[in-house]
């Protein structure tokens, strides 16, 4: 889902050919994501469902981020899916928090995600929401095909994360991470981790869905399972 362990961040910028074929692929993908995958969402032990553009040659081990004009096509399909997902989850009659995550500059990591909530009026908040104060770049991502101002946007950090609990098995130390401009942080239950900011995640919710005074439910990073 999120880039908790975002170590393959560098984009492959080799020239691509066949953009007409890529557009056909992205249109087929857009049709395929209009309906959310609900099998795991409705189970008691799973808290979300999501979708991401995993098309080759962009979504590979070494991510190849598309040009901005192509990213806008991806955004357009995400927004169409968002509106369809909203109807589907409303029909389930279960509390939910539907979000759109736009990454910058790691465009290909963007996703649509819906969290299952325990009560109406709850929304997910995240420990990786940013301390940086800057406006959503609406002019950069704008297109005639959709309206990004219909969403309320919260800035979060797309970060490379290392947990202190992993250091016994790592080939680096905390001091080495700090020297590389990582920042030491602590989340719930005193879990220590080190984060290095790599870019932006803009988390959007349709303004018409938002309650006046929502209850925030904080989501922490998930540490790796104990060995």
Residue 38 maps to a domain: yes
Residue 150 maps to a domain: yes
Model confidence over 49-93: pLDDT tens digits? Answer: 999 998 877 777 777 788 999 999 999 999 999 999 999 999 998
Q: Is the pLDDT of residue 215 over 50?
A: yes
CA distance 66 to 68: 6
CA 51 from chain centre, in angstroms, equals 10
Identify the domain containing residue 207 by its residue range: 19-158+201-219
Residue 59 maps to a domain: yes
Residue 34 maps to a domain: yes
**Pairing relation of β-strands 122-126 and 111-116?**
unpaired
User: Any idea which of 21-25, 95-99, 141-145, 148-152 has the lowest mean pLDDT?
Assistant: 21-25
Structural domain count of the chain? 1
pLDDT computed for residue 222 by the predictor: 63
Model confidence over 81-100: pLDDT tens digits? Answer: 999 999 999 999 889 999 99
Q: Is the pLDDT of residue 3 over 50?
A: no
Mind giving me the DSSP string for 92-158? HTS-EEEEEEEEES-GGG-EEEEEE-SSTTEEEEETTB-S------HHHH-BTTB-GGGEEEEEEEE
Residue 115: count of CB within 10 angstroms of its CB: 19
Alpha-carbon separation of residue 22 from 58, 70, 193, 204 (angstroms): 10, 9, 39, 26
Residue 8 maps to a domain: no
Q: Hunting for tokens 């009659």 — which residue is that?
A: 93
Residue 72 maps to a domain: yes
Residue 1 maps to a domain: no
């Amino acid at each position: 889902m999120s880039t908790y362990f975002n170590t393959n961040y560098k984009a492959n910028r080799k020239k691509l050919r066949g953009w007409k074929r890529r557009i056909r692929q992205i249109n087929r993908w857009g049709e395929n994501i209009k309906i959310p995958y609900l099998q795991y969402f409705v189970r008691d032990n799973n808290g979300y469902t999501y979708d991401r553009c995993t098309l080759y040659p962009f979504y590979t081990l070494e991510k190849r981020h598309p040009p901005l004009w192509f990213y806008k096509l991806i955004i357009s399909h995400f927004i169409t899916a968002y509106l369809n997902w909203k109807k589907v989850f409303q029909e389930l009659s279960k509390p939910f928090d539907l979000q759109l995550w736009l990454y910058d500059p790691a465009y290909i990591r963007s996703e649509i995600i819906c969290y299952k909530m325990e009560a109406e009026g709850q929304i997910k908040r995240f420990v990786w929401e940013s301390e940086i104060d800057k406006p959503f770049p609406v002019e950069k991502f704008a297109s005639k095909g959709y309206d990004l101002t219909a969403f309320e946007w919260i800035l979060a950090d797309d970060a490379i994360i290392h947990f202190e609990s992993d250091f016994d098995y790592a080939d680096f130390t905390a001091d080495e991470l700090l020297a590389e401009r990582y920042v030491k942080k602590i989340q719930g239950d005193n879990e220590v981790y080190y984060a290095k900011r790599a870019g932006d995640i803009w988390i959007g919710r349709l303004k018409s869905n938002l309650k006046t005074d929502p209850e925030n439910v904080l989501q922490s990073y998930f540490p790796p399972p104990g060995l």
